[in-house]
Amino acid sequence: MSPASKSPETRWQRFIRSFLYGLDVDRNVKAKARLGLAIVAFAAIYGVIALRLVMFAQQSNGHGLRRSVGQDAVATARPDILDRNGLILATDIKAPSLFAEPRKLIDVDEAEELLTAVLPDLDAKETRERLSSKRGFVWLKREITPKQQSEIHRLGIPGVGFLTENKRVYPNGPVVSHEIGHVNIDNQGIAGIEKWLDGQGLAALHMAGLATDRLQKPVELALDLRVQFALRDELFAAREQFKAKAASGVVLNVNTGEIVAMVSEPDYDPNNPREANDPTRINRLTTGVYEMGSTFKALTVAMALDSGKAMLASMFDASHPLHYGRFAIHDYEPMHRALSVPEIFTYSSNIGAARMALAVGVPAHHAFLKKMGQLDRLRTELPESAEPIVPKRWGELNTVTIAFGHGLSVAPLQAVMGVAATVNGGLLIPPTFLKRSESEAKALAKQVLKPETSREMRYLMRLNAEKGTATKANVGGYYIGGKTGTAEKVINGRYSKHKLLTDFMAVLPADKPKYLMMIMLDEPQPTPETHGFATAGWNAAPTAAKVISRIAPLLDLEPRFDLPNADQLILAKATTSQ
Amino acid sequence: MRLLNVFVIGALILAAAVVYKIKFDSTLQAERVAKLAGELRRERDAIAALRAEWAKLDTSGRIQGLAERHLALKPMLPTQFDSLDHLPERPPAVATGNDPIGAMLAPAPETTGSVPALVNR
């Protein structure tokens, strides 16, 4: 193209050209082809680069976020735990933690002195040890206050820094301690629902370091915080009044198996987990096993009625104590005559209950209690559970005593589940701490009793509140039914007359049960107001009455007055529908 | 060919300028995003702390203590509930206008109200 290329070639040049390209090749054509090739190649390269750019632009939106993860959360986030109305039971807040990098530290003594001045509860010796170690990273104090943080920041010690951590807080303190449990300093659940949560895959997330997201879905429990508080408040008062060692209570929805409230007093503050190690503060309802006493008669009577071996009008001889080898079964208030089934239930006759169980037979009794879930460990979401203490060899004497609630120790929650089945139409529903609808419960439930038996049981429960041992629990307007139970505790292998365990099961309302409540007092003492009695009718039943009058409005139970008595409302309906 | 070269060089400069502008803008945006994300995180933490504090102040135990100390209210009794169908009907309106006596003499509008029941209660 330049004028120089037009000038004739020298010999030498022609030689080079023929050597490089061959003799008869037009160089201009060749050059054009090459240029085309180069254009295509470069276009392809730029095309690829452009494409990659687009791909990068689409993928890498996490740039800004990734930067923040490094300084975030060592103790990983946990989901909030809410009650059934959305009130907070457990939540996370951010708290700074103090750490040091000993290798970067210039003056250990000065650092230690300054730090202990701001944090008086810091152990000076231990801090010095940690600071003079050769490690790259040591914790000095976890979870300090923002004020302390700014003070330490102002000291300007090199090699000391802060990390923000998630701290678990329980705003309600001890009110829900036994259900939700608590966590350790690394935010791992070590008891209750918190531990159950870890078992649900949260622990694996922690390991992978992915559980830093605050937006985890909150866990909703079946618990009603207000009911729980009212129950705890009354149990607290009852424990004071009767000077009992412990007081516990459960409110169970009989149609869904949801545990609406559960208190075992004394409890502990999950914000201060050290208290949980005290053995007197265990959850007596799931981790303790007790002989439940006369409340077990509800199961015995239900069994006898369901088997057809007894009807409501059947008579059982209770005129004499029942002798068995060297044992004699007495009644608390002997009637010295034959008793009908309602009489056995309302007078709480041991002899009558024993005779009813014997009429059904030993193997059938064992099979029935097995069916009612009283002989196997009851498992709920709570990791803590206790195995019932079942006699190794189950003879006639065992059947006789178990008929009125001695000789078989079960977890109280288990007994509640069994009694709930006798009043809710005969469905055995495993209790749960999580929300559950009625249809879900139906799918899980097992029909263990005829609905007719259940109706008769409701009649007996109501009758007992009208004119039996449970009259002191009869709060006007709520149509309560109930069964008392008083068990003598075994001290050194003998039944003690003065160390009692009293419990009370209340059905509300008895004609169409929605809730079953149990109150249990451990070693209540007689008081002047109880005229020297310490049986369940004098302490557990009145406590139940106080609780019911407080919680029934919270549970949406409508007070109904001028309802007919049990004979008309429950039993008459039963006979007409037959 | 020369025209093409000039055109390509022009396009190159233009492209470079545009890319620089986009890059500059995107850096700016990224910084803004990071700043907002940090702010969001701080706000969320603050919300969590406030929620926890509210839950603590709202505990039934505290409210009960305050109510007992400062209010004359008593716990509600079952007898204090009633249903809507026990509510008496609205009493007949007092006649107004320029002839009140005449209005009284006129046949009263039919009412099934339970005003006497209200007196009984």
pLDDT in tens, A59-69: 765 544 444 44
Amino acid A275: pLDDT: 81
Identify whether A265 is part of a domain: yes
Which of the four pLDDT bands, split at 50, 70 and 90, describes residue A7?
A: low
- Contact (CB<8Å) A68/B38: yes
Q: Are residues A180 and A241 both part of a single domain?
A: no
- Contact (CB<8Å) A169/B44: no
Cross-chain CB nearest to B45 (options A94, A169, A476): A94
Identify whether A47 is part of a domain: no
Identify whether B82 is part of a domain: no
User: Looking at the predicted structure, is the pLDDT value of residue A255 above 50?
Assistant: yes
Least CA distance to B31: which residue of chain A?
Answer: A64
- Tell me how many domains chain B contains: 1
- Contact (CB<8Å) A553/B79: no
Least CA distance to B62: which residue of chain A?
Answer: A172
Amino acid letter, A510 = A
> How far is the alpha carbon of B63 from chain A, nearest alpha carbon, in Å?
11
Q: How far apart are CA A284 and CA A266, in angstroms?
A: 10
Q: Are residues A213 and A232 both part of a single domain?
A: no
Contact A402, A296 (CB under 8 A): yes
Q: How far apart are CA A14 and CA A388, in angstroms?
A: 110
Identify whether B14 is part of a domain: yes
Q: Are residues A12 and A91 both part of a single domain?
A: no
- Contact (CB<8Å) A552/B37: no
Q: Are residues A159 and A295 both part of a single domain?
A: no
Identify whether B70 is part of a domain: no
B80-98: average pLDDT:
77
Q: Mean pLDDT lowest for which of A17-21, A146-150, A151-155, A325-329?
A: A17-21
Q: Output the average pLDDT for chain A.
A: 85
- Whether residue A170 lies within 8 A of chain B, CB to CB, comes out as no
Q: Are residues A201 and A315 both part of a single domain?
A: no
Least CA distance to A226: which residue of chain B?
Answer: B60
Q: Are residues A206 and A231 both part of a single domain?
A: no
A470-488: average pLDDT:
89
Identify whether B107 is part of a domain: no
A523-552: average pLDDT:
89
Q: Are residues A110 and A198 both part of a single domain?
A: yes
Q: How far apart are CA A421 and CA A416, in angstroms?
A: 9
A475-490: average pLDDT:
89
- Secondary structure class of A501 (helix, strand, coil): strand
Going by the DSSP 8-state scheme, the letter that residue A217 receives in this structure is: P
- A96 closest CA partner among A143, A33, A158, A129: A143
Paired tokens of A469: 């041992």
Identify whether B55 is part of a domain: yes
Identify whether A341 is part of a domain: yes
- Whether residue A91 lies within 8 A of chain B, CB to CB, comes out as yes
The interface pTM score, or ipTM, of the predicted complex is 0.70
Query: Which of B12, B31, B32, B45 would best serve as a mutation to test chain A binding (most A beta carbons within 10 A)?
Result: B45
Identify whether A63 is part of a domain: no
Residues of B in contact with A91 (CB under 8 A): 48, 51-52, 55
The DSSP bridge pattern shows strands A327-329 and A246-253 to be unpaired
Range of the structural domain that residue B40 is part of: 2-65
* CATH number of the CATH domain containing A164: 3.90.1310.10
- Whether residue B15 lies within 8 A of chain A, CB to CB, comes out as no
- Secondary structure class of A171 (helix, strand, coil): coil
Least CA distance to A83: which residue of chain B?
Answer: B55
- Secondary structure string (H, E, C) spanning A55-90: HHHHHCCCHHHHHHHCCCCCCCCCCCEECCCCCEEE
User: Looking at the predicted structure, is the pLDDT value of residue B98 above 80?
Assistant: no
Q: Are residues A314 and A358 both part of a single domain?
A: yes
> How far is the alpha carbon of B13 from chain A, nearest alpha carbon, in Å?
15
Catalytic residue numbers of A read 294
Element (H, E) at A427: strand A427-428
User: Looking at the predicted structure, is the pLDDT value of residue A213 above 60?
Assistant: no
Range of the structural domain that residue A9 is part of: 1-41
Identify whether A510 is part of a domain: yes
Identify whether A523 is part of a domain: yes
Q: How far apart are CA B118 and CA A520, in angstroms?
A: 44
- Whether residue A218 lies within 8 A of chain B, CB to CB, comes out as no
Q: Are residues A337 and A195 both part of a single domain?
A: no
Amino acid letter, A59 = Q
Identify whether B77 is part of a domain: no
Identify whether B74 is part of a domain: no
User: Which residues lie below 8 Å from residue A415, measured CB to CB, with a gap of 6+?
Assistant: A292, A295, A296, A374, A505, A518
Identify whether B6 is part of a domain: yes
- Tell me how many domains chain A contains: 3
Question: A220, A238, A258: which is the final residue of a domain?
Answer: A220
Q: Are residues A459 and A539 both part of a single domain?
A: yes
Q: Which long-range contacts (CB under 8 A, 24 or more apart) does A212-216 make?
A: A212/A69, A212/A72, A212/A73, A212/A76, A212/A77, A213/A77, A214/A77, A214/A92, A214/B44, A214/B45, A214/B48, A216/A77, A216/A78, A216/A79
Identify whether A73 is part of a domain: no
Query: Which of B51, B76, B84 would best serve as a mutation to test chain A binding (most A beta carbons within 10 A)?
Result: B51
Q: Are residues A141 and A183 both part of a single domain?
A: yes
Phi, psi of A467 (to 5 degrees): -145, 25
- Whether residue A451 lies within 8 A of chain B, CB to CB, comes out as no
